[in-house]
Amino acid sequence: MPITRLNHAVLYVRDVEASVAFYSNVLGFRKLDMLPDGFDGAAFLQAEGSTNDHDLGLFQIGSDASASAAGRPTVGLYHLAWEVDTLAELSRIKAALGAAGALTGASDHSTSKSLYGKDPDGIEFEVAWFVPTDQLDEIVLEGRKGISRLDLDAEVERYGAGTVGGVGRP
């Protein structure tokens, strides 16, 4: 059977409450009441627009945990990527990441417009808006071969702040 999408991710973190605060305050996740009473050191979160049981699991391993070395001397996950519906939402997240000191980059992949950030443990993630399928012209599709600096204001001007994007949407 083919895989259709990523349902959730689970991360090991140093401080689960700090991570819950970050993902809630900056990215709009909400903490779910899914743990048995007395079970500490874990949390399950759901993205604002999600219908998943949960989108993110967090498991605390303590303040002595080393930073991830993935991509340097070890293999491992590079980053997670979440999709937003509109450029207005991407702009809101850009401001929230900036205010939290967590914005690490912004790229125009032609078919997608992406922000990059790091959580309190330095775990990297991407938040992206995808050009609607009906607006994928030859210029946009040819641009997939490169990455350029994201000018979010210009993209809002081009596509509109409220235009719903997304892979596979009409």
The enclosing domain of 54 has a CATH number of 3.10.180.10
> Would the pTM of this model clear 0.85, i.e. be above it?
yes
Structure tokens at 79: 């980053």
1 part of a folded domain: no
If we measure between CA atoms, which residue out of 136, 132, 127 comes closest to residue 165? 132
| 25 plus 85 within the same structural domain | no
Domain extent for 30: 9-60
166 part of a folded domain: no
Q: Would you call 164 exposed, middle or buried from its count of C-beta atoms within 10 A (0-12, 13-18, 19+)?
A: middle
Any idea what the CATH number is for the domain that residue 107 is in? 3.30.720.110
DSSP 134: G
Number of structural domains, the chain?
2
155 part of a folded domain: yes
| 14 plus 84 within the same structural domain | no
33 part of a folded domain: yes
| 44 plus 107 within the same structural domain | no
68 part of a folded domain: no
Structure tokens at 151: 């000018």
What pLDDT score was predicted for residue 143? 66
Task: Give the C-alpha separation, 88 to 110, whole Å.
Answer: 18
Q: Which portions of the chain are predicted below pLDDT 70?
A: 1, 139, 143, 167-170
